[in-house]
Structure 1
Amino acid sequence: MTRFWQKIRTGQWLTAERLQGYSIILLVLCAIAIVVWVAASDGLIDRRGQPIGTDFSNVYAAGALAWQGLAPDAYDPGLQHAAEQAIFGGRPVPFYGWHYPPFFFAIAMAAAAFPYAWGLLLWLVTSLAGYLVTVCAIVRRPGTWLPALAFPAVFINIGHGQNAFFTATLIGGALVLLDRRPWVSGILIGLLIYKPQFGVLIPIALLAGGRWTTFAAAALTASALAVASFAISGVEIWHAFAVSTTFTRTVILEQGATGWHKIQSLFSAVRMWGGGIHLAYAAQAMLAAALAISIAWLWRSRASYDLKAAALCTASLLVTPYVLDYDLVVLGIAIAFLARHGLAHGFISYELSLLALAWIMPLLTRTIAGASGLPLGLIVMMMLYVVILRRAAMEAGVIFRSDAFAKA
């Protein structure tokens, strides 16, 4: 047992060969599962009566409504559901809500310009390519694409036809380009306003780090998107969006219609454990305040940029009360930055094993939370964030630098 914990502490068990082997095994198993899932489906409807690409159906339906000049209808649950059913010949598929700001209709219309299956394929392939390019640009080591592709959150996102690849590409790309192309970095951050809950802490990091050019570019991009959508679509669509936020907040978030075991936030954990709405909001607010303060300190400190980037990605997932397991694709960006830092400077005790746990965690967290009420995703992300802050504090000279560093 002592030898076992020694290997966990040092991370010696996770060699490059084992990482490659584990990735190949998981990649093959998930690929087989996807092929079987599609082959067993009845056309575009799977064996559970859900559309192939589940959540993508709301994007496609919203795009179809926009092509018909009925974009505001996408924010009405009844009309949106009818549009989703129409895609599949009126079959009684489940409802998938459209919760995005009006300027995201441009992407939805592009997807809906093709037949459903081709639109889904284009949606996933292009966004997945962006995510893989971003991770490879961070780590810059041969074979990086393999564990990045085998990251379980990738397959969860594919199964749901979701947009987490876009989110990870925007955040990761902005962080990769922050020093070399600050204006481009700001534009990518501004585009993230399509899913604003993941951008809450980014302005704090930019201001604390004195990244004025990037901050200005992000603000101008977000403003330009809002103005353009007003000019093209008018006030009506924004009014429909504003009204729809009540449904999103009360039914989707507070009542947990999505399923508490799928949501990876502290808010969801409190609700899953029987806590009231006010207690859940209070707990989430305290966590958000702690994250904001720590991010501001970290981005003003002398710590490595890789640690700052990894912390911001992780904190961006922790700060929002509504983060699904497919959104954990963004955690892949945090793992990539922390891995790059460790490969250059060595890994401290338990760090490499924790990175491995964070990598496999998306595969387990929904099942474990559903069976036991243990929010594994939340726990692992908080552990990872604490480890990042500890390393940053060592580099900044705030705490004693341990002699446990050893290059992998």
Structure 2
Amino acid sequence: MLTATLEQLQASPRKRTIYVRVILTLLAAVLVFKTFRFFEDGLWYGGQTTDFAAFHIVAQRIWLGDLDLTYQFASFTKMQLVAAGGTTGVMPWTYPPQFDLLLAPFALLPGWAAYFVFTTITLTAYLMTLRTIAGNNFALVLVIFFPAIAITIAGGQNGLLTAALIGLLCISAERRPVLAGLALGVMVIKPHLAIAAGVYILLTRRWPAVLMAAAVVVASSLICTLVFGPQIWMAWLGSIREAAGYLEEGRYQLFRMISAYAALYQAGLPAAGAFWGQIAMAGLALVAVALAVARGPSPRFALGVVAVASVMISPYAYDYDLPIVGIGLALLLPDLASLASPRERGAIYGLILLANAYGLLQSARLSAENGGASGLQRYMTPAVGGFALMVVLAMLLWLLLRDAKPAAVRLHGEPA
């Protein structure tokens, strides 16, 4: 039923156009509404931490010359409280210095204008990349991923930027490896989401891409060292250790996370058990990448598995990272039509849609009940998105093992 409903979106160009226009209009409305609220009430309205509010603070501290203090949770908490003008939610800062450098120009704009420019650019880049990859499936992917795209816009997060970079890598991997390497290198801003793509580049021996990615990482690291001073790296590493303890204590909004760690932790496992579950899931995700390269029906399908696996390696992955999975689904769809039955495709669509919508719906529910997603309920709310993606990965592995053929057969045809 779900398969037929969603795939009917592609029945005619007219239907596809209507759905695309409706979804794009809704996304634009979210962007305009949030910009207006930020203009009227500031980035901290409602007593909640907006992700872009933290981005803007970091950009400002760069020009004030004390960026390293943002990597100390106690200091960054004070900065957020001062900026909010009172009590608010707070978050640690763990992004690599390269992302700080990218944010620096946005300090020159008021918060609402910086949010609008950043989100408009990243949203446009993502939609253009997704449209190029999805083709006639663009409407279907937009419908499934509307909740994740909307929540990313609402928070001003960088999930659209990282998804656009992964998409550019996938578009360029076969014929423009240098451009693919450039995209992979820029993913240093969120390196835990680039592991699967890096493994793919190595397995397929795209050496120009490897060299370009390495050059980007080294060059950007040198620039950051010159701009921020060598102490920035120790500050960054210290924040990662602090954040690990933060995660172990369950102090993040785990119900919005999509990792195996969050799913298992919220299900009642101790932190150590959830961590080992995450390691096992990361291993399976990389096995899926290797299997897709060796036995996948096409390079496009293998890249789709790479994109899906990207969000399953690290314990720290949120619903705003799901636009990367949108790139993956767009790549997988042509081969899924022949590899998977309508029921199997419906299950994949439904599980991904659940992962997309769950965090948004739970945030809305908790906000309505408690005036904010906080307190005991927040810590007891299950992290369903992680379980949904685990099942999707299992289904992709099953399809690869059941129906795929060795690379020699895939490339040269069935033997006589």
Per the normalisation by structure 1, the TM-score is 0.84
Match of 2:330 in 1: 336
2:29 counterpart of 1:15: no
Of 116, 126, 138, the match for 1:121: 116
In the TM superposition, residue 386 of structure 1 has moved relative to its aligned partner by 3.0
Change (3 A) 1:108 1:29: closer
- Greater CA drift, 142-151 or 164-173: 142-151
2:70 counterpart of 1:74: yes
Match of 1:327 in 2: 321
2:241 counterpart of 1:243: no
The answer (yes or no) to whether the contact 1:168–1:333 under 8 Å persists in 2 is yes
Change (3 A) 1:27 1:396: same
Change (3 A) 1:264 1:33: same
Aligned-partner Cα distance in 2 for 1:85–1:368 = 25
Deviation track 1:339-373 (CA, whole Å, cap 9, x = no partner) reads 24346x57533243234322464112454697985
Of 324, 345, 352, the match for 1:352: 345
Deviation track 1:265-285 (CA, whole Å, cap 9, x = no partner) reads 111122112211211111111
Q: Which letter does structure 2 place at the counterpart of 1:380?
A: A
Match of 1:275 in 2: 269
2:173 counterpart of 1:178: yes
Segments of 5+ residues of structure 1 without an aligned counterpart are: 1-6, 399-408
Q: Which letter does structure 2 place at the counterpart of 1:300?
A: A
Structure with a larger share of its residues in helix? 2
- Greater CA drift, 220-229 or 172-181: 220-229
Deviation track 1:217-247 (CA, whole Å, cap 9, x = no partner) reads 2122112221221232221111211211122
Q: Which letter does structure 2 place at the counterpart of 1:316?
A: S
2:390 counterpart of 1:396: no
Match of 1:260 in 2: 254
Segments of 5+ residues of structure 2 without an aligned counterpart are: 364-376, 408-416
Deviation track 1:25-77 (CA, whole Å, cap 9, x = no partner) reads 666667667766676776125663236xx011111101100011111121122
- Greater CA drift, 160-169 or 212-221: 212-221
Deviation track 1:261-308 (CA, whole Å, cap 9, x = no partner) reads 111111112211221121111111122222223322322335311211
In the TM superposition, residue 93 of structure 1 has moved relative to its aligned partner by 3.3
In the TM superposition, residue 121 of structure 1 has moved relative to its aligned partner by 0.4
Change (3 A) 1:38 1:166: closer
Aligned-partner Cα distance in 2 for 1:29–1:188 = 29
Match of 2:153 in 1: 158
Where 1:207 maps in the other structure, the secondary structure is helix
Where 2:133 maps in the other structure, the secondary structure is helix
Identity %: 22
Change (3 A) 1:217 1:246: same
Deviation track 1:145-181 (CA, whole Å, cap 9, x = no partner) reads 9827962101110111110011101111101111121
Change (3 A) 1:29 1:364: farther
| Count of residues in Structure 1 that have an aligned counterpart in Structure 2 | 386
Aligned-partner Cα distance in 2 for 1:226–1:33 = 35
Alignment of 1:61-210 (within 5 A): 61-88=57-84, 90-141=85-136, 144=139, 147=142, 151-210=146-205
- Greater CA drift, 175-184 or 290-299: 290-299
Where 2:251 maps in the other structure, the secondary structure is coil
Q: Which letter does structure 2 place at the counterpart of 1:353?
A: G
Change (3 A) 1:143 1:226: closer
The answer (yes or no) to whether the contact 2:141–2:329 under 8 Å persists in 1 is no
2:283 counterpart of 1:289: yes
Change (3 A) 1:186 1:139: same
Where 1:242 maps in the other structure, the secondary structure is helix
Deviation track 1:87-108 (CA, whole Å, cap 9, x = no partner) reads 45x3443323221111212222
The answer (yes or no) to whether the contact 2:263–2:387 under 8 Å persists in 1 is no
Match of 1:381 in 2: 389
Per the normalisation by structure 2, the TM-score is 0.82
CA-atom RMSD in angstroms: 3.1
Change (3 A) 1:232 1:96: same
Q: Which letter does structure 2 place at the counterpart of 1:207?
A: L
Q: Which letter does structure 1 place at the counterpart of 2:131?
A: C
Change (3 A) 1:339 1:117: same
In the TM superposition, residue 379 of structure 1 has moved relative to its aligned partner by 2.8
Aligned-partner Cα distance in 2 for 1:125–1:254 = 35
- Greater CA drift, 74-83 or 366-375: 366-375
In the TM superposition, residue 79 of structure 1 has moved relative to its aligned partner by 2.8
Change (3 A) 1:256 1:22: farther
2:45 counterpart of 1:50: no
The answer (yes or no) to whether the contact 2:304–2:332 under 8 Å persists in 1 is yes
Match of 1:403 in 2: none
